[in-house]
Every structure is written in C-alpha cells, then in structure tokens.
A and B are shown apart, each in its own frame.
Chain A
Amino acid sequence: MEGGLDSFRKQLDEKEKKNKVIKMEEIDDIEREENSFSSIESDTESGVFDFDYDELILLIPVVVPIISKMIGRFEYRLREVLLEAKKFMLHSKRLTLNPEDINSALKMKNFEQMYGYNKWTPNVWKSTSLNQTNLYYLEDQELELDDIINKPLPVIPLDVMYTAHYLAIDGVQPAYLQNPTNLEIQQMKAEINLLTSKSNNETENKNKIDALKKNSNIPPSNEKTLVKQVLGRELTLYFEKITEAILPHTARSGSSTPLSSSQSKLMSETEYREHALKSLLMDPGLQPLVPYFTEFITETVTNNLKNLDVLTSMLKMIMRLFGNPNLFIESQIHQLIPAILTCSISKKLSSTPNEDHWTLRRTAATLLRLIVEKYSNSYPSLQPRLTKTLTRALLDRSKGRGSIYGAIFGLVSMGEQVLRIMVLPNVKFVSEYLLNTENEVEDEVEKQFLTFESEKCLEALLLSILNIVKHDLISKYFPNLENEGPTIPKVNFKQNLKKEEKLDIFKSFKTEFGFEITKRLFTKLDLADDYNTILDQLGDDDDDDKGEDSKQQNTDDLMKE
C-alpha cells in the first residue's frame, strides 16, 4: 500500500511545487466552483473541447486559476478515495494496495469504477522529467483486438487446498521444508520493512533485499547448535549413551568414542543394546528428545543402507519409541516413514545378498501396519500415500526381488481392502515377471539364486492373497458359512466341492492369476490332486476345443516343466 501511496504522493508533491498558491478551498468556494465546472464538463461532453491551439492559448488566463483550484479539489478527492481503499486493503488482510481496493472504494463513494486494471498485470510506472522535476505516469499499452480474441484461454487456476504442518513443537521450530530458514526470515523481514516503512529510503531497502538474495547461496548458519542449547545436560548425555548403545560396533565411525571398557566388561554389547531399547520403551521423560531420535534414525538409515545390523537396530528403536505410552510421536511420523519404507522396499539392504534381509522387510511391514492403524484417522492421506509407494515398488521391474518381497508384505499390512484393489489384479503380472528368470542372467549360479529369491516372493505373494481367495470361495460356494465371524472358517475344499465347481475355480483362477499361481493355490487349498485331474481333463478337452490356442500353448509349457 505504502509504495502505491508514495508514488501518488510524489505526484502530489509535484503538483504542489508547481502551484504553490494552492490551498484547500473552503466549502462555499468549492461549491461555487463545482457549478462553474459542471458547465465546462457539459461542454466537453458535447464535444466543444475541439478548439484549435490558438483558441487554447486565449483560454489560458481563464483556465489557469480554475486548474489551480481544481488540482486542490482533485487532491482532496484522491486522498479520500485512497483512504477508503486502504480500509478495503486492511480488511482483505494485505499490505499492498490492489486496483480492486480502489474500485471498491470508488463503488462505495458512488463514483464510476476504473476498468482495465487488475492485480495480475503489473502497472509499470515510467518517469520523465519536466522542468527539472520528475513526473511519474502509467504507461498505456496498445492492444490489438485480434490478439485478445485469438489468445488461447488462460489456464484454469489451481483450486485452493490446505496442508498442515507443525510450525513449532514444544517451542522449537522443526527444520522442515515448510518452515523458513534463517536466511528466508531475514529476507521476509526486509520485505515487510519495505512495505510498512514510511521513509523514503525505498532504494536502500531494495538494495538490502537484493543483497540478501545474492547471499542466498551461502548455507544458513548452523541451526543445530542453536537448538541443542535447549536440551538439558542430562538429556544430551542420555541421548548420546542411547545412540551409542544401539548402534552396533560396525556402524560406528572410528572417531566416535568406543564403548568404554568398563561397560563392555559388565555386559555384552547385545545386552547393553537391549537395556537401551528397554529404556526407550519405558522412560516417561523422553518427549524433548523425540525430534533428535527421529533425526538420528533418518540419518543413520541413509548412511547405512547396506548394513543390515544397523537397519535392524533402527527399526527396533522406532518400534520401542512407538511402544512408549508416554511419548507423542504423531508429529514425527512423517519423518520416520521414509526410513521405514527404505527398510521395507529398498533394492539392497545388505552387503551380500545372502544375508537375511527378508526378516528386516517383514519387520518394517509390521511397523507400517502399526502406524496406519494408529494414525490413519488423524492423517487420512497417510494410508493412500503408503499404498501408492508400495504398489509402485511392487510393479517396478527395475527393482530387485527384495523390493517386491517388501512391497508385498507392506501391502499386506495395509489391510485386506488394499490387497483386493492393489495386489489381486497384479498377481498375474508380478508372478510372470518373477517366474521369468531365464532371460535376466546368464550365469547358472546367479540364476539359481534368483530362482530362490523368486520363490520367496512367490510364496509371499501366495500368502498375501490366499486368505482373500479362501474368503471369496467360501462366500461363493458355502454362503451359509460366511457370516460366522471375521475369521475364515475351516472348510475342507477337497471333499466339499463338486467336480464342476473345482473346474470353475480352476478356470477363473487361470484367467485371473495364470497357471503357475493357480497350481500353487490349488496346492495350498489342498486340491493338488484335483489340479492334476483337471489338467488331464483339459488336455482331453483341448483335442475338441482347438479354438483356445493360447490355453493349449500354456498347458504344453506346463507339461514340459
């Protein structure tokens, strides 16, 4: 606002310099003038103002005093409108005056509004000097009507939406993307000063902002040390001890203090770690440390992506923090989730592929389930987002078997609904990829290993869908059993299903999941014998039914195996 007003004021000053005689006229005078003006105005409207230059010169002695009075009156009205406009600006909670505000003010005063100005097109003020004084004016652009008509329609602006984040947690501002850095704060301060200051040193302020912007390459001063002072000494010590205990030896860098000899004598490293984890689970006074633990975990995870031991400890640590009834973790979950996801679906989690990273992935999935159960109510978007990430990992062929394994377990922990929607339709796709090991590697040993991995994934995949499949079968063929409770009733499929029904199931499975999975599913459902009979029968049918070439092909393939 002040910027705009200032430029107006500049104009006003200009006028006043030229017309030093001008003083505000008293009401009577103004009224008298108004009458005289109205006559002139009516003249202009009827187009009498088209006199040539000579006539104009003749008019000067008449016009000048009128102009001088008119300027005084104009100034008064201008101030009036600006003051009103400022009110509209204030109530729109802005610091800059918009053309809209001016229009609202004009509207309220029953004046004609100004058209053609909006806040989107910046008004460029140009200056020119006349008799050694600066004059400012708004440049009018010439627009082609054709251009306007032929211009493509503007893009529809995005709809208003909200996001939520923690501006402060227990009086400390967490360093997220959503919160400003020191440097940004400095810039904002300068900008606000510029907007609110009444002084004329506009350029000075501008320079300040520019200077600040130039400096923006310099990283902001170390905030961590600043925050650290907030913690008590005991807590800092506690934090150090705990992190030291939990990190296995291998992860610790050489510079950090090794476990003191006395402690290692008293108890083994694992014991020490167990104690630390127990403390995390039970201790009531850890709230102030939560952000530090979070940061520690995320940092350690990113730095030890291939250290299975460390990652397992980190997951344990998260588990304990969640388990502690005295802690308020909600504010931190969004920072912890990436770490957990890493442990779940990262391509490689161990230095050698032979290590048991499968357990780690399963643990991560359990953790995800805990989080979703606990917080999906307060963060409705949490579950969809997790599901999206996991599904992407499941379908990504560039990732290893491990990622698929983790993704399957992760999706299992998202609940049945998710499995139905995200996993069931993709079973065929995923299993085909998993089974197709031949083309990937040449080396026989590697191939074997890959098959082993694939088997693991397939097993997981089967497990994940088995319950759903069972449930569906029961609701289809044994509707009377269905309503007995959430647990799936035990049904002996082998004995209770008719032969045609089994054939039906076989067909539907085959179209939905493909042969391999169907076979395994039948095995799981204790129908392995039936599977073979059906296959035999199908083989017979195929002689009659030559139309289904593809089926034939598949069956042949299977026979070969």
Chain B
Amino acid sequence: MSNEDVNMDAAVSVYLRNRGYKEADSMLKQEANLLNSRKTQKNLLDLNIPDLILYSSKDEVRDDPNIYSNFYSLLRNWINESSLDLYKFELRRCLFPIFVYSYLNLVESDHPKEAQTLMKSFEQDHQEQHSQDLEKLSCVLSKNHLVENEFVKEFKSSKYKIRMSRYSFELLLSFLQNNKMMLILRILNEHLAIKVTTDKPRLLNQDESDGGAVDNEVDGIDDDKINLDQEEVKLGTLPADPWLVKELDRCLREGSGFTPQEMPFIAQELQKLKKENPLKDSPKRDSIPLPPPKLLDIQQEIKTLNELRSKIILNNSLKPTICSYTLHNTYENLTCAKFSPSSTLIGGGFSDSLVKVWNVKGVVNPKQPTITMPSDPRTPTKLVGHSGPVYGMGFSPDNNYLISCSEDKTARLWSLLTESNLAVYKGHNYPVWDCEFGPLGVYFATCSHDRTARLWSTDHIYPLRIFVGHLSDVDCVKFHPNNNYLLTGSLDRTLRLWDLQRGHTVRLLSRHNAGVTCCAISPDGRMAASSGEDKVIMIWDLGTGKLIKKMVGHESAVQTLEFSLDGKVLTSGGLDYTVRVWDCKTGDLSNNEAEISGENRTGNPSTTATSNDLLHTFYTKKTPIFDIKYGKNSNILLTVGPFLP
C-alpha cells in the first residue's frame, strides 16, 4: 500500500468519525488494517480533513529523505538573504520551529542519518538562542526517543506560537507555495500557531517579547542560558599606568606642582590608584596597546585627581539641576549633537554636511571684563569636509580632537586647535551611523549601515578590527570605560559586547522588541542601559548578560542615555521632548514586569504605563534631547537639543 492510499484511508476514516459513523469507521479501520499495521501513522488519524487533503503530497519522506534538508536550506537562504530587513526577524523566528519539526519528522520516518546531517549543517544558526534545545534535540536519534524525550513531547503535544504581521506571513506563504514546499507548509500548519496581526511588524506587544514560545514554555527565554554568557569578561576598571603612578609619587615627594592643601588628598588618591591595580577582574594595562604616557599626562592626571576633590556625592534624594542648551534656527537640519568631556564644547552635526562646534564657556577675562569682545563666543567653529549628513560625532578625552561620521561613508578626524581636518577614514561601504572616541583616546569606533562596527586608531587609515555579527544596521557604539570592550546596538534588536583584542562577541543582549538606538555603560563598567524604538529602557548586567530590569515611560524613541557618576541614576532624553531621570538600582525584573503588564491590563491601552523607577520627568519646550552629560563634579546635568517651533 502506497503512502497516498494510506492517507486516503485515514482521511476517509476521519471523515466517518467526524460525521458520527462509528461503525463504518471501525469497519474501515479493520478492513484497511489501519490501526495495527501502521501505528506510526496514528497521528494521521488525529488530523483534520482539509489538512490531510491540502498538504499530503508525493514528496512524502519515504521518497526522498533529503528533501527536508533541501527545503530548509532554501527557506533559510531566502529569509536570510533576499527578504527585507523589516520582515526578516519575524520570518527568521519560524526557522527554528521548522528546523525542529523537520528533524523530528526525519527521525520519525526512520531517517536518523539524514536527521543528523540536517542538524550538523544548520545547528550553527540556532546556537546563539537555542543552544540548550539543540543539545536536547540532538539526543533524539530513534523513534523510541520520540516517546521518551520530554523536549520532544512538549514540541509534539503543543503548537509553537508565533506572532507575525500580515505581510510577512503572506511573503512566507507565497514563497512556500511557489516552491511547492508542501512539507514545510504542512509543518507550518500542523505544529505552528501563527497569529497574524495587523500590527506593523516592528511594534510588538510585551507578551510577544519571548520571541514565540510553545505553550508549556519550552523555550522561555527567562531561563535560557546563552552559551555566550559563559565567556569570561573583565569588567573592572583599567589599572593606572605604572609609570604614571611612579611619576606622580615622585612629584608628590618632591612637592612640585601641588599646593600644600592638595597634598594629603592627592596622596590618598594615589594610594587608591596603587591599590586598585590587583583588582580581580581588571584587564591588564597592556591588553590594548596604548602609546606611552607623556610628561604632559602627569599634569593632566594631577588635574583630574584634583577634580575628584570637589566631587559631590550623588544619591537618589538629591534632585537634579538641569541646564539645557537649546539650538535655535536649525530648521530640522541638526542630525546630532554632543558635549565634550570637559562640558565646555558642544558639537553639532548638520544634514548639510557641516560640523559646528560652540564654546559654551565664555572666553572673557574675569579681571577685566570688556564689552568689545574679540570674537563673539557664540560664533561656532565650522568644520567643512563631509559630503553628506553628519550622523554622529565624538570628542577625544583631551577635548582637542573631534571624530565625526557621515552618510558619505567616511569618518573624519578634526583638530579643534587648528580647526582643520586631519584625516579621513574610509572603510565602511554604507552610511556610518555613529562613532565614539575610546576613553583613553587613540582608538575610536564607528558603526554603519553595512552591519559592521569597526575599531580604528587615529594613526591608521584602515580599521584595526571589523566586528561582524549583527544581522542588521549597527546603530550605536559605546566604549567600555576600561577600553577593552565595545558595546554596539543594532536594528536587529540586539546589543553585542565585543572584545576589542580578540574581536568577537562576548555578550549578546536580546530582549528588545525594536531596533536599539542608544546605549550606555555605567562608570563602574558593570551595567549597561539600552533603549530604542520600543521606548523601553533596559538595564543589563554585563557580567552575566542578563536583563536586570525594564523601565517604561518614554512616549517616543529614546535618543540618549547617561549614567550618573555613581551609576545609581540614569538619565534619558528622547524625541518626546522630555528628560527623564530613573532610579536604576532598585527593583528587579519580576515585579517590574508584573507591574507593567498589570497596568496594561487595567489601564487604557492608549496611555503608556509608567514604571515606578521614574524619578522625574522634565518637559522641554518642543526641544528633543540629543545628548545629556553630567557635569564633572556636580549634579548639574547638561542637555542639548534643537528647538523645533
């Protein structure tokens, strides 16, 4: 008896049963010997008729066991290579269940070898997110296992739920139909519960954040152990340069360059610097090569140590004072703005390719205030060179250099002392979205539409590292304070922490429901914050790679995040014309989520729920916030943005 006949018999049997012709049904079963001889096909009897008729085809496994492999690879290539970014994520989501069910079907139909080849060739795809499941799945090699394995049971007994937008579902269906991939279609129909929504593909609800899970929480991401999280990361502060410490010590002994009041404090701080050296998880000083320190650096170091003296200790009860710089007459042309580390300069990138730098501290001599100023301090320095909108910029730690990146695929280094362009860095093949100087200078990072982030050093015109791994545009980069890691956020809804030296991902942070547009790392290097188009701010523990909590409240995309100097308070600014101050130490995910969902259920869906961590909200007058910076030694916050009348 051929497969088709069996299917037909089964169909008839199901029909009879459905209509209530029990006797006829049992008679049929007896005659066709359905029950006894083909136990494996028993599940066929549980199908409904349309399914049976629609999806039974001649490509049954028995004919060609390799067909699953072929179909799967075709589908995979189509999704990964020729589908649009927007729908890619949703489409990719259905790859894993299809993979699992194909594998199971192969095993079920006595083709363990083919199943293994399928596993071998494609397990890499799912390693990152489903490594645990793959381990379980690869154990299943014979029909007997199917019954025993808990994992398989769960997959078999319930449907894998996926939410998809209408258009991506149509895309998928038409692809499958056009390629006559009836087998895959059948899997889709049998085991997947695809909920087609009219939503736009990107704006998804919270309950969907788990990326689609089987009823019984087969792959609840909450307790999923991503392999990457086992990678060792050294998040401690970078030890001070031994030579510098020695020199400082010498300076202190000789007493040169200090006033007597400063001495005890500097000595104390120096002691701290020495002690910090053997911190357990600090990277080695020379793990990232840096040019040897110069004598000038000693003065700088003394200055920073002195600044530490006047630092105000911040806490939650201390209310912020915000000084807001507003740029007028931008005509929506301002594409980015940034404060210098010294907070004395504001850089602005414009869509007409200009970079302008304002000096916000006046240059008037306090002793002899004159009214005829040599040059109005409000006139900016204009840096001309780019040939496309400037999307990102970063000041060097010594405030003397500026790196800017543009739609013209280049990054440019500017000297603010000579007000000229020093170097052009070509390497990206598509618009460069963001760039940042490393915390110790010399190195800078860029990220681009070409899905890579790159590490450069100012004295080389080619990138030193190319970080490949993101599945879509890389939107933001941030250096880790110890100069050894780079955090990137991407449109593929994930953040990656890269090891600069080895050049590969050490952490993958994926809980966002939309593209990540901005990220920040706390000054102690242990925490990261990220946010994006989904308006949710997430706080991550970089050590474990886990989400600490979500903070909801913004009404539009968040553009900038900044930790306070002690890392207890996070400030965010966005396109909704607000500056918001968050408490990022208290509260955790569990009560956090309950609170959010609870409010959502009861509250009006149109009003966004706000989480309790929101300490303050300050509205500006139609000024989206492009950058936020904490003043060096006070609790004064600086914000900058264009006024859009």
Interface residues of A (CB under 8 A from B): 23-27, 29, 76, 79-80, 83, 87-88, 90-95, 98, 100, 104, 108, 119, 157-173, 178-180, 184-185, 188-189, 192-193, 195-198, 331, 372-373, 376-381, 383-384, 387, 414-415, 417-418, 421
Contacts and interface: CB of A to CB of B under 8 A. Distances in A.
Nearest to B337: A93
B373 interface: yes
Interface string B69-85: 00000000010001011
Contacts of B377: 380
Contacts of A100: 351
A185 B170 CA distance: 41
Contact of B175 (A24, A94, A415): A24
Contact of A380 (B82, B321, B323, B373): B373
Contact of A26 (B179, B330, B356, B391): B179
Contacts of A377: 362, 364, 366
A196 B325 CA distance: 26
Interface in B594-645: 606, 616, 618-622, 624, 626, 639-640
B389 to A, nearest CB: 6
Nearest to B559: A93
Interface in B363-397: 363-364, 366, 368-373, 377-378, 380, 388-389, 391
Interface string B51-83: 000000000000000000000000000100010
Interface residues of B, number: 88
Contacts of B368: 415, 417
Nearest to B626: A93
B567 interface: no
B371 A166 contact: no
A25 B369 contact: no
Nearest to B177: A23
Contacts of A23: 170, 173-174, 177
Given A79-B86, A378-B361, 19 more contacts: A23-B173, A26-B174, A83-B84, A83-B85, A161-B329, A162-B325, A162-B346, A162-B640, A163-B328, A167-B579, A168-B616, A173-B619, A179-B621, A188-B577, A192-B575, A331-B321, A376-B362, A380-B373, A417-B371
B219 interface: no
B433 A418 contact: no
A378 B330 CA distance: 25
Interface string B537-562: 00000000000000000011101000
Contacts of A180: 577, 619-622
Contacts of B575: 93-95, 192
Q: Which of B363, B430, B621 has the most CB of A within 10 A?
A: B621
Contact of B624 (A25, A93, A387): A93
A418 B368 CA distance: 11
Interface in B322-354: 322-332, 334-336, 346, 348, 350-351
A91 B335 contact: yes
Main secondary structure of the interface of A (DSSP, over half): mixed
18 contacts: A83-B84, A90-B533, A92-B335, A93-B334, A108-B430, A108-B449, A160-B327, A161-B327, A162-B326, A162-B328, A166-B323, A167-B579, A168-B616, A178-B326, A178-B621, A192-B556, A415-B369, A417-B368
B378 A80 contact: no
Given A24-B171, A93-B575, A167-B322, A157 B329 contact: yes
Contacts of B86: 79, 83
A166 B174 contact: no
Given A192-B556, A378-B361, A417-B368, A26 B620 contact: no
A113 B389 CA distance: 16
Contact of B325 (A26, A93, A163, A184): A163
A169 B328 contact: no
Contacts of A418: 371
A421 B372 contact: yes
Contacts of A173: 618-619
Contacts of A160: 327-330, 334, 348, 350, 356, 380
B473 interface: yes
A340 B475 CA distance: 51
Contacts of A387: 371
A168 B320 contact: yes
B168 to A, nearest CB: 10
Nearest to B365: A377
B491 interface: yes
A198 B200 contact: yes
Given A195-B556, A415-B369, A87 B491 contact: yes
Contact of B322 (A90, A163, A166): A166
B325 to A, nearest CB: 5
Q: Which of A93, A161, A196, A418 has the most CB of B within 10 A?
A: A93
B555 to A, nearest CB: 5
A168 B579 CA distance: 10
